[in-house]
Amino acid sequence: MSIADASTLDVAWWKSSRSDTGAQCVEFGIVDDQSVAVRDSKHPTGPALLLSREQVAGFVAAAREGRFDA
């Protein structure tokens, strides 16, 4: 599911502690017990994806394993 304007969500957004000062970051916000929102930090009023906690955990695990490395 997606939200057209991420700034309308009542969440506290945060970036990964591994994010650098560049503008290529994603931000996460906990929506409720089951959902997490993800948005592009460069576009805070742009869309956000709503993912389950299981989906986020799978994404983080895949990133740690290097499965998205070019």
Which residue is it, tokens 């986020």?
A: 56
List pLDDT tens digits, range 2-22: 999 999 999 999 987 767 666
- So what's the pLDDT on residue 23? 63
Q: Are strands 35-40 and 48-52 parallel, antiparallel or unpaired?
A: antiparallel
Q: Tell me the C-alpha distance between 40 and 29, whole Å.
A: 12
Domain ranges of the chain: 2-64
List pLDDT tens digits, range 19-63: 766 667 889 999 999 999 999 988 999 999 999 999 999 998 998
HEC profile of the chain = CEECCHHHCCCCCEECCCCCCCCCCEEEEECCCCEEEEEECCCCCCCEEEEEHHHHHHHHHHHHCCCCCC
- So what's the pLDDT on residue 26? 86
